[in-house]
Amino acid sequence: MKNFSVLFAALFLLGTTSVFAVNDATIEDKTTATSTEMTKLLQNPDFIVEYEMEANVLFTVNDENEILILSVETEDDQVVSYVKSRLNYQTLKSNLETGKQYVLPVRIKCEK
């Protein structure tokens, strides 16, 4: 009976975890209006780029079509601050689904 209770609890936790799993949409196509808009917002960094930096930006859009940054996955804190300061609460002209989470791959190239 005790094993049954433990098994039931484990299955319950597994079931509820999979219900709350998030299906992120990746914005990879460079020709999309949203990708182009966000690229323009990230142009001309205000710091010296000594090496190529990469990040994955998890964001959503609110009812006013503003970008809400949820997280920036990178090893460089400077990139996190830069992306958040440039994108957070900026209004998009293109329409994305409100509340849906999107991933934008970002690459900041050094100019030698």
- The predicted model scores a pTM of 0.70
Q: What is the pLDDT of residue 26?
A: 57
First to last CA, the chain: 68
Domain ranges of the chain: 23-108
8 Å CB contact between 83 and 43: no
- Measured CA to CA, the distance from residue 47 to residue 64 in angstroms comes to 30
Token pair in block for residue 22: 């998030």
Tell me the pLDDT tens digit for each residue of 73-106: 999 898 999 999 999 999 999 888 999 999 999 9
SS3 58: strand
